[in-house]
Each structure stands twice: as structure tokens, then as C-alpha cells.
Amino acid sequence: MLQETIDVKFLRQVSIFGGLNEEDLFKIVNIGSRKNYPKGSVIVMEAEIGAAMFTIISGKVKVVRSDGEGREVILSILSESDVFGELSLLDGHARSASVITTTPTDVFVIHRQDFMHLLHEYPSISIALLSELALRLRKADAQIKNLSLKGAEERVASVVLQLAEEVGRVKHGRVVIDDLPVQQDLANMAGTSRETFSRMLHTFINQGEVTQQGNTLIINDYEAFSNLHK
């Protein structure tokens, strides 16, 4: 049974399911399935018709869009308890971005028909989903502002803060960002060249604002860094 592999306590941590009682959460566990993807797998392909919604049980994924020349821009990094793929289920249009695993990743999958039934049966899910979509819209607006109005230093700092918010963890008063995307991906997120991103990041390191240890970035004082680079 799926109850043995997916604890309802996990679903309670997912924003759109958090308002349901345990009995209802067990119902949702029973209509979904669990799937594992190796690192580098494409879970969702941009422009395909959506057939399912996904919730991350463990691992990390990147949400990306590509241009005609194959260049990739990362829109966000998602991790445990984050949901993706629901938008195209709601409007019936093609996927707006691809989702690719950056680590081995387990997901909980609910197919379209079951998902739409949940929205009708549990209005609280619809309300929570509206809040989630509003949050994503605000983040998208902030990204547009960063790319259009800010200089290179502020754009690089905004990417660091975005990663801290999406996948960072607090440790000893500092924010630790593990498994950084490759620097070209980070530069694409900031709308800069790789060389510019590297130079700005090293400026932050030399000023003691951040520390890099291999593939891990540490914001030494998150509040100060955030206030300085708003």
C-alpha cells in the first residue's frame, strides 16, 4: 500500500494539502503513485501537454526554459514538498517550462483526472493553490524587475537570495545553499555572462558576505546580505 511508502505527515507539509485532515490525506495517498528519477532526468518537458501534477518527496529539480538555440534559463530550484506541473492541468495548455532533476529525486504523482476531482471535492486545496500561484506570480515579477532594472552586482545578489529562499537551510545562524547549479546556469538566472557572475560572486566572498566551500555557498549573515542587496 502507498501508505507504507508515503506518510500522510509528508503531505501535511505540502502547502496545498496542509489544510486537510488525516482521513482525507490518506485518500490522496491512495490515488497517487511514487516515482523515482535519476539525476539529469527530464520529468516535465516544455511544450508538452500536461497529464499529471508532481510533489517532490526528496531531491531537487530545476525549472527551465530554452530558446531556439538551446540556451537554458533557470526560473527556479524546487526541493522537498514543492509542487510543480499543476498549471497546465488547470488551463489545459502545454507545459510552460521543463523540469529536470539536479539530484536523484522521488516524486508523488497525481494524474489530471484525479487532481481535478480533488479540486472539486476539497475547496481548501483550490484556495491554497491560488495562494501558491499568487506567490509564484510575485516571484516572477521580482525576477523581471531584477533583470530589467538592476545592475550586474544586484542581479547576482538576487540569484543568491533566490537560492537561499528556495533551497537554503539555516545552520548556526548562517544560510547554507548545497548543490549549487553550475556557474553558467547561475549566470543565466542572473542574466549575465559566466565571467561577470564569477567576478561578482568573488567580490561578495572577498568582502566576507558569503563563503564558498566546493559546491556549497554560505551566506554568513543573511539579514545583512539581504538588506544590503535589496
Instruction: State pLDDT tens for residues 127-159.
Output: 888 888 888 888 777 777 766 667 889 999 999
Considering just the CA atoms, what is the radius of gyration of the chain in Å?
A: 19
Tell me the percentage of the chain whose pLDDT exceeds 90.
Answer: 43
- Overall size of the chain counted in residues: 230
Q: Is a pLDDT exceeding 80 seen at residue 191? A: yes
Q: List Cα–Cα distances, 190 to 36, 59, 69, 135, 224, in angstroms.
A: 30, 23, 19, 20, 21
CA 153/CA 199 separation, integer angstroms:
9
Average pLDDT over residues 181-203: 90
Q: How big, in percent rounded to 5, are the helix, strand and coil portions of the chain?
A: 45, 25, 30
CA 37/CA 184 separation, integer angstroms:
24
CA 159/CA 80 separation, integer angstroms:
20
Residue tagged 564569477 (cell numbers): 198
